[in-house]
Amino acid sequence: MSQQSTFIMVKPDGVRRGLIGEIISRFERKGLTLDKIRVLTIDEDLARRHYAEHVEKPFFPELLAFITSGPVVAMQWSGENAVAVARKIMGATNPQEAEPGTIRGDYGLVVTENLVHGSDSPESAARELALFFP
Ligand code: DAT
Ligand code: MG
């Protein structure tokens, strides 16, 4: 356990559906601290760098079209064990498998449109935070 920072992003579906406040409030209520926030539309270059590990995957074209389809809310959150705690609040990648009570479990239905991104390790967090908050 340690003090950590993590990168969290409300994806275009969360913004379109008016769920920014709902998603932010879940991290807030848990006790994490919002350090940085910005609204932007991701272009193809940033999408390829952010999702570098997935560029060769069969689902990447769909992921690229989706993540560049409208504004996102990019954030830095910090707190004790923030990386893993935030992933727990988000729920499983596929919203159909995500538990009720998680963001994806409560609001998502299909895997591409799963509302929220969160770093999967402290190393990913450092890389992603540097991309979005240079
Ligand atoms: P996570 O967002 O939980 O870290 P990931 O990094 O494995 O999941 O994948 C990044 C995003 O890509 C994920 O949020 C939704 C999409 N995705 C993942 N696996 C997929 C699949 N099998 N089919 C379609 N989209 C997928
Ligand atoms: Mg991931």
Cα–Cα distance measured from residue 104 to residue 96, given in angstroms and rounded to the nearest whole number: 8
Average pLDDT across each block of 10 residues of the chain; the chain has 134 residues. List them in order: 94 98 98 98 98 98 98 99 98 98 98 98 98 98
DSSP 46-94: HHHHHTGGGTTSTTHHHHHHHHTSS-EEEEEEEEETHHHHHHHHH--SS
What's the one-letter identity of residue 95?
P
C-beta neighbour count of 60 within 10 angstroms = 14
Helix (H) or strand (E) run with residue 123 in it: helix 122-132
Annotated active-site residue 54? The verdict is no
3-state secondary structure of 36: strand
Q: How many residues does the chain have?
A: 134
The domain locations on the chain are: 3-132
Annotated catalytic residue within 117, 119, 129, 132: 117
Cα–Cα distance measured from residue 87 to residue 26, given in angstroms and rounded to the nearest whole number: 12
- For residue 118, the model assigns a pLDDT of 99
C-beta separation of 128 from 119 below 8 A: yes
Assigned CATH topology for domain 3-132: Alpha-Beta Plaits (3.30.70)
- For residue 64, the model assigns a pLDDT of 98
- For residue 129, the model assigns a pLDDT of 98
Pocket test of ligand 1: the residue of 111, 113, 116 to mutate, having most ligand atoms within 8 Å of its CB, is 111
- For residue 1, the model assigns a pLDDT of 65
Is the shortest distance between the CB of 94 and ligand 1 below 6 Å? Answer: no
Is the shortest distance between the CB of 6 and ligand 1 below 6 Å? Answer: no
Is the shortest distance between the CB of 96 and ligand 1 below 6 Å? Answer: no
- For residue 92, the model assigns a pLDDT of 98
- For residue 127, the model assigns a pLDDT of 98
Kindly report whether the global pTM for this prediction surpasses the value 0.85: yes
Backbone angles phi, psi at 78, to 5 degrees: -135, 160
- For residue 56, the model assigns a pLDDT of 98
